[in-house]
Amino acid sequence: MVKTKKIILGVTASIAIYKACEIVRRLKEQAFSVTVVMTPEAGELINPLVFSSLSENKAYIDLFSEAQAWQIEHVSLAEQADVVLVAPATANIIAKCAAGICDDLLSCLILATKAPILFAPAMNENMFNNKVTQQNIEKLKSLGHKFIAPRVGRLACGKTGIGCLAETEEIVAAVKKLF
């Protein structure tokens, strides 16, 4: 029997968060099991219940929530993952990961996992092109993490530039390529 591959989808507070719903749907169509782990800020933009409904799994958001069974959630989720996909990945989560900072459930999970990590950045063009962000991306790449480049398009600020989340099909294809 073939084991269903488990994807942990890390969701951060980018305006592109609405595309994460489509990513869940498309990954499920490809027979992946998807569990969503959100930053608290992402929970201000979309209710975790939306992701629970789409993924058919509990969506996690709180580092200190009461567990259903005795477990340390960021560690148990990290151990279950075949891939951790962070989409959309903000400059904040990229910087935290590059510095080894883990102050929420998602950043703790990323630090605890041995699974491949794939980041799909989405942010303002100035933030993406900032030397610090580029250094953080290069550092994470040097550690073996993968990136799906953002595309040029209309940004939340109303301008057109690089920083739009990659297309859903490209993200799903990148996940499949890891297997």
Query: Who contacts 176 (Cβ-Cβ below 8 Å, separation ≥6)?
Result: 30
* 157 part of the active site: yes
Strands 151-154 and 6-11, by their bridges, are: unpaired
Query: Who contacts 54 (Cβ-Cβ below 8 Å, separation ≥6)?
Result: 21, 24, 25, 28
Query: Is the CB of residue 163 less than 8 Å from the CB of residue 88?
Result: no
Query: Is the CB of residue 77 less than 8 Å from the CB of residue 36?
Result: no
Please give the single-letter amino acid code of residue 155: L
Options 97, 102, 157, 164, the catalytic residue? 157
H helix intervals, the chain = 17-29, 42-45, 48-55, 73-80, 91-99, 105-112, 125-129, 131-142, 168-177
* Catalytic residue list: 157
